[in-house]
Amino acid sequence: MTETTFYAEDYTNHLGQIVKPGDDVVMVSTGYAHSISIRKGTFLGVRKCSRGHFRGATCEYDQAYTHYKLGYGNPDRYKSENFEKRTRKTKTTLKLGRVYTLTTEAWNMSV
């Protein structure tokens, strides 16, 4: 595994869009069994290896999770009054760099 370093700098995706740190973006990622995830997030910067080659686009997004008020052994744990939905900020690095801006100019460009 190559060691990478984070840089808060602009990134140009394969459509030619210039994405700047702090921009609202749409992130497209793939997972297990060819699943596709599409999320809205904030672009933070890029990761590069020691030779300066691109290794991924780093973004932050709100991840939903369930907080249980009771412990694992309690049979009433899964009743709706004993858990609540929460969100937390999560950072991810998209190795294929599929990050797209959410500006009006981006949707008006011809592909």
Each domain of the chain, given as residue ranges in start order, spans 4-104
Tens digit of each residue's pLDDT, the chain (111 residues): 568 889 999 999 998 999 999 999 999 998 889 899 999 999 999 999 888 888 999 999 999 988 888 877 788 877 888 888 899 999 999 999 999 998 655 555 554
Contacts of 7 (CB under 8 A, 6+ apart): 45, 46, 47, 48
Give CATH for domain 4-104. 2.30.30
CA distance 106 to 23: 12
Closest CA to 48 of 96, 4, 8, 98: 4
